[in-house]
Amino acid sequence: MTLILIAMILALLIPIYEACKDEDIWQKMLALASIATKTAMMSLFISVLRDDWMIGVVAVIILSVGNAGLMLLAHVIRRMHEA
Task: Point out which residues bind other proteins (CB under 8 A).
Answer: 2, 5-6, 9, 12-13, 16, 19-20, 25, 28-29, 31-32, 35-36, 39-40, 42-43, 46-47, 54-55, 57-59, 61-62, 65-66, 68-70, 72-73, 76-77, 79-80, 83
Closest separation in Å from C-beta 17 to other proteins: 10
Closest separation in Å from C-beta 38 to other proteins: 8
**DSSP class per residue in the chain:** -HHHHHHHHHHHHHHHHHHHH---HHHHHHHHHHHHHHHHHHHHHHHHHHT-HHHHHHHHHHHHHHHHHHHHHHHHHHHHHH-
